[in-house]
Chain A
Amino acid sequence: MKIKKILIYLILLTIAITFTLPFIWMFLMALSVDGTLVISPGEILSGDYSLETFKNIFNLGYSQYIGNSFIVSILTTFFQLLFAAMAGYALARFEFKGKKLVYRLILSLLMVPFIVVMIPLFIEMKYMNLIGTFGALIYPKVFSAFAIFFMRQFFLSLPRELEEAAYIDGCSTIKTFFVVILPQMKTALATMGILAFMGSWNDYLWPLVIHSSDTMTLPIALNQLSGQYTTEWNVVMAGAIISIIPIIIVFLIGQKYMVAGITNTGNK
């Protein structure tokens, strides 16, 4: 029995080390003075370490890019949740002509890769005079087929009695939605919120083609640290560490909702 336990822990430990090693390596590289890519075990302890690289990053204007990323991610997440919840509610509860068609169209959008719509979207932004603005970064990302689908599934699992009680007490549809229904959806909102925030924070292709110097987000700025011929890996790694911190915080806060949310998705 004991041997079995030890064995299991040994295996788990090996897996844990395998998965955390890249992170540890990233930290070591970020702290190293000359950014040597290959460090042998002997050098780990004897190497030169300093926090200089992090200072340099902020000297390069990274506080602005971090701010931009927060603006874009928070607004995108907020409006995506709002619209997805409203659309999902309508699709789950209301009866109207063409409802099935609308729902299927939204689902079919899940299958279209973003790159296909990128250039049309770009031209659209151009005519709306939005290129290089925060609007262009946020506006197309506010609609998410997945978020609508996700929300709809959750609304379907809510008992109708809740709304019926609200109606009998004289609540309007909109008030029912915001005051009675939405508070029941905390798990779903938190799960979708984390996913939306992570997606937006890490989004690369769209911000890349549409950004201007003033609206550059962190992932794009991060790549700016590598040059045409050479790359200073310690600076890149320090930038990468800065960029994952918010994601880790958001995930830690929302983790319990997220896990609960995922286990609930299948319920109907």
Chain B
Amino acid sequence: MKKVLSLLTIFILILAGCSGNKEASDGSEETTIDLALYSVTADKEDTLKEIISMFEEKNPNIKVNYEITPYDDYFTKLQTNIAGGNAPDVFELNYENSVTYYENGATENLSDLLTDEAKSGYDQTALEGFATADGEQFGLPASFSTVLTFYNKDLFDAAGVEYPTDEWTWEDEMAAAEKLTDKDNGVYGLVTPYSYNEFYKTVAQNSGSLFNSDYSEVTMVTPENEEALNYMIDAINKGYTPANLGPDEDTNLFKNQKAAMLTTGSWMFGTFADSDFKWDVVTEAGNTEKANHYFANAVAMSSSSENIEAAYKWMEFYTEDPDVQKLKVENDWETPAVTNKEVISAYEAKSNGEDRSKVFKSLENGVNPPIPAGVSASELADTIDGAIQEAKLGEVSAKEALEKAQEEVENLMK
């Protein structure tokens, strides 16, 4: 009997001990804000702590608690927290998922809190990425990455081809790819994934669009879109581009000097830094216009937050304060989406030879995937991806693939 009772007592004590009392005990009017983040990986946590202590020093009445969840699972956790009425005051969102949260009313409208001065400190492309069509700001951009053309200078020299420039068009790129492709040695001229992300962007480079401007119609089957898809298929048929790429295979091809040009994101700078060949980056080739895919992360405020002022103070500090951004750059965080010259030159100075100004240059023509209301970005991507894969294998023509995509996306939007 005693044994059971003591065991039960221990059990209850453990639970009680763990639950703890988190309320402030010193009586001062302290506000605590909770953050949820994913972009801070384990090796960057110390920098985050430093940023928080900088903030708490300036705002002694605000305490910042943070919680990091890995990107893959972050949205599962955030959803549960919001559904369970336990939303963090400030949470991070990427562009692709942000619309869903905005549409469901999970985010606070920041338009009134955002002063014109603060507004001008952000990169406008990135800022608009987190605003609705009628101008409601629901997130402040914290960081971005752009997709660039990485090229191997040594392979270009060996083939006697001039380095790519920002003015290159598809034609120039294909002509160069032809000369650079060396089938005997397994060298591909242009390594680029055959995927939805590439497709929507290639379409934009050809002045096409997958939807009309207010998303009321799906405009998948147009001459521009067909031409764009054919351009992608062509590169594979001619052998300039591998038909199938395994995980990490594209970057490994580039690392092993088997890819003269590679389409990938600016997050790869670090990975390629210690390569034993010369390489550089340039904005992607366009056709009728320039368009570069950019990824962006923002911080948003929960619509149920009771600490609006404190939370907003933190958001602006975290995303715009020059000292914070410089600290982030120093510790290899993702590129801050600010216009501050010092921050930008600090970022460019971190280069290992690559021209980092291209990152900002490509953002000028930045595009990101269309997200019609009520459809999740990943669902749309999977649907279109599935439809265009058949065209790659030559089973159907580009036009037929687009017709299939049209039908399936229309069903999705019903």
Are A123 and B18 also in contact (CB < 8 A) when A174-B4, A213-B68, A230-B268 are? no
Are A209 and B249 also in contact (CB < 8 A) when A134-B18, A224-B68, A228-B39 are? no
B277 neighbours in A (Cβ, 8 Å): none
A227 to B271, CA, bound (A): 13
A226 to B42, CA, bound (A): 10
Q: Is the CB of B68 within 8 A of A128?
A: no
Q: Is the CB of A37 within 8 A of B73?
A: no
Q: Is the CB of A60 within 8 A of B43?
A: yes
A205 to B83, CA, bound (A): 15
A263 located at the interface, meaning its Cβ lies under 8 Å from any Cβ of chain B in the complex? no
Stretch at the interface among B7-15, B307-315, B381-389: B7-15
B135 located at the interface, meaning its Cβ lies under 8 Å from any Cβ of chain A in the complex? no
Are A135 and B18 also in contact (CB < 8 A) when A126-B84, A172-B1, A174-B4 are? yes
Q: Is the CB of A135 within 8 A of B295?
A: no
How many residue pairs link A and B with beta carbons under 8 A? The number is 106
Q: Is the CB of A37 within 8 A of B11?
A: no
B3 neighbours in A (Cβ, 8 Å): 178
A223 to B41, CA, bound (A): 10
Are A208 and B18 also in contact (CB < 8 A) when A178-B3, A230-B271 are? no
Q: Which residue of A lies closest to B5 (CB)?
A: A174
A260 located at the interface, meaning its Cβ lies under 8 Å from any Cβ of chain B in the complex? no
Minimum CB–CB distance for B88 against chain A, Å: 11
B351 located at the interface, meaning its Cβ lies under 8 Å from any Cβ of chain A in the complex? no
B168 neighbours in A (Cβ, 8 Å): none
A128 neighbours in B (Cβ, 8 Å): 19
Minimum CB–CB distance for B295 against chain A, Å: 7
B115 located at the interface, meaning its Cβ lies under 8 Å from any Cβ of chain A in the complex? no
A205 to B79, CA, bound (A): 13
Secondary structure at the A interface, as helix, strand, loop or mixed, is: helix
Q: Is the CB of B42 within 8 A of A61?
A: yes
B77 neighbours in A (Cβ, 8 Å): 208-209
Partner of B72, one of A38, A118, A174, A223: A223
B85 neighbours in A (Cβ, 8 Å): 123, 126
Chain A: residues with Cβ within 8 Å of the partner, total of 44
Q: Is the CB of A129 within 8 A of B19?
A: yes
A37 to B250, CA, bound (A): 12
Partner of B265, one of A38, A178, A229: A229
B76 located at the interface, meaning its Cβ lies under 8 Å from any Cβ of chain A in the complex? yes
A133 to B18, CA, bound (A): 6
- Give residues 16-54 of B contacting A (CB, 8 Å): 16, 18-20, 38-39, 41-43, 45
- Give residues 178-236 of A contacting B (CB, 8 Å): 178, 205, 208-209, 212-213, 220-221, 223-230, 233
B271 neighbours in A (Cβ, 8 Å): 230
A37 to B256, CA, bound (A): 13
A180 to B169, CA, bound (A): 84
B86 located at the interface, meaning its Cβ lies under 8 Å from any Cβ of chain A in the complex? yes
Minimum CB–CB distance for B304 against chain A, Å: 13
A150 located at the interface, meaning its Cβ lies under 8 Å from any Cβ of chain B in the complex? no
A and B contact pairs by CB, cutoff 8 A, 19 listed:
A36-B252, A37-B247, A60-B42, A60-B43, A119-B80, A130-B15, A130-B19, A135-B14, A135-B18, A178-B3, A208-B73, A208-B77, A209-B81, A223-B70, A223-B73, A225-B41, A225-B70, A227-B267, A228-B295
What residues of chain A have their CB less than 8 Å away from a CB belonging to chain B?
A: 36-38, 60-61, 75, 79, 82, 118-119, 122-123, 126, 128-136, 138-139, 172, 174-175, 178, 205, 208-209, 212-213, 220-221, 223-230, 233
